Amino acid sequence: MHRRTARGALIVGVAAALAVAGCSSKTTDGGSSETSGTGESSALSIQPGVLLDSAGNEVASTDVTDAADPAGSGNATCSGVSLAMAGALTGANAALGQNILYGAKLALDKHNQANPNCQVEMETFDTEGDPQKATQVAPNIVSNASIVGLLGPAFSGETKATGPIFNQSGLPFLTASATNPTLTENGWTTFFRGLGNDNSQGSVVAKYLTGTLDAKKVCVVQDDSDYGVGLARVVTETLGAAADPACSASVKTGQKDFSATVSQIKAESPDAIWYSGYYAEAAPFVTQLREGGVTATFSSGDGTNDPEFVKQAGESANGAVLTCPCVPAPAALAEQYEELNGQAPGVYSVEGYDLTTIMLRAIDSGVKDRAGMLEFVKNYDGQGVGKKYQWNDKGELSNALIQIYKVN
């Protein structure tokens, strides 16, 4: 793993965890995978395609020139305040959490270099994406009074498990990646989602499959995570008659043998397959589909949209359609990110950067506690990298865009 030491950013408690986990040195923005699932060389990569609005209409990409700068004015003064990040930094889906953390690290580095009198630390808490482990670390986060804002949790299941703890403590928690729609139906007043939820992603995905890809029959397969179940429900409902119940299937997180599901799908000869889950299972699943002679288009969401999917699936990932309610990093930011972190940005890296920037702007404005951070975020209205950040009273973004990617 290649990581350069942050010049000004202070990330506490993460180096050892990442050294154990290792990390992908590839990118969803054009980098290539070094190995295929069989150990052979592969030049496949995840490439961004069209950007769609909530109705499934293509949106023209524009160069953002007024994105909030974490460096601010350079005159900020602060003391006794810090931030935290919670998410999977080790384990099967660690790359997703690392992408968020490295985005935050870049924002912190810019801020701390520019503001010598306001050095903000970010303490990291590795949950492995496991709700049970997340509930074990949550008390450590809320008991630290210096932590005025949290980036995370990263996954929907762990967010559901820990949300009551963070909300009760008055700690604003901003997720860069947890997309289950029900998270904003819990009455939490300190939760903010930095991307579109699965209602927006799932409905657009379904319209894309039946519209642009002209799929008449789609097999929807879901894992047993809160994320996978919620996203599959929306996709299935929006697909309507195109969702073939004869080949809908459920699998488990951690599963590696998908032979029964492959046989079920092969018997139905679908035009496309939608998988709701994470790359750790998506990679062996698509590999076994191709080995079993299933040639239907493989499609999946943001949980699969990581270079590790391509690295682990190899040539079997070729042609896969992946989606995300997140945005790819523009060239200039990608260059800065790679220079600092030793790897290119991936899915959620931009959201990690933007949400950290918002919390840093709050601190620079004089925020010294959680109540002040909450008020700042609730009333925030500003441009980030690729999207605008402004939340409704439930913590959902006022606008949501879906990026379509393809592996080729």
CATH of the domain at 84: 3.40.50.2300
pLDDT for 36 equals: 39
Q: What sign does the CA torsion over 207, 209, 211, 215 have?
A: negative
What pLDDT digit, counting tens, does each position of 239-268 carry?
Answer: 999 999 999 999 999 999 999 999 999 999
pLDDT(112) > 90: yes
What pLDDT digit, counting tens, does each position of 311-346 carry?
Answer: 999 999 999 999 999 888 999 999 999 999 999 999
In this structure, what token pair is assigned to residue 340?
């600092």
DSSP-based three-state secondary structure for 215: coil
Residue 319 CB-density burial (10 A; 0-12 exposed, 13-18 middle, 19+ buried) = middle
Q: Is-cis flag, bond preceding 153, omega within 30?
A: yes
Instruction: Note down the domain range covering 143.
Output: 10-22+66-198+328-407
pLDDT for 32 equals: 34
- State how far the Cα of 306 lies from the Cα of 310, in Å rounded to an integer: 7
Looking at 324, 356, 375, the residue that finishes a domain is: 324
Beta bridge partners of 51: 59, 403
Q: Does one domain contain both 205 and 280?
A: yes
What's the domain count of the chain?
A: 2
Q: Does one domain contain both 193 and 73?
A: yes
Residue 39 included in any domain:
no
Q: At what angle do helices 226-239 and 198-210 cross, to 10 degrees?
A: 40
pLDDT(7) > 70: no
What pLDDT digit, counting tens, does each position of 55-82 carry?
Answer: 778 887 767 788 999 999 999 999 999 9
Closest by alpha carbon to 90, among 160, 20, 179, 137? 20
Q: Does one domain contain both 76 and 193?
A: yes
DSSP-based three-state secondary structure for 57: coil
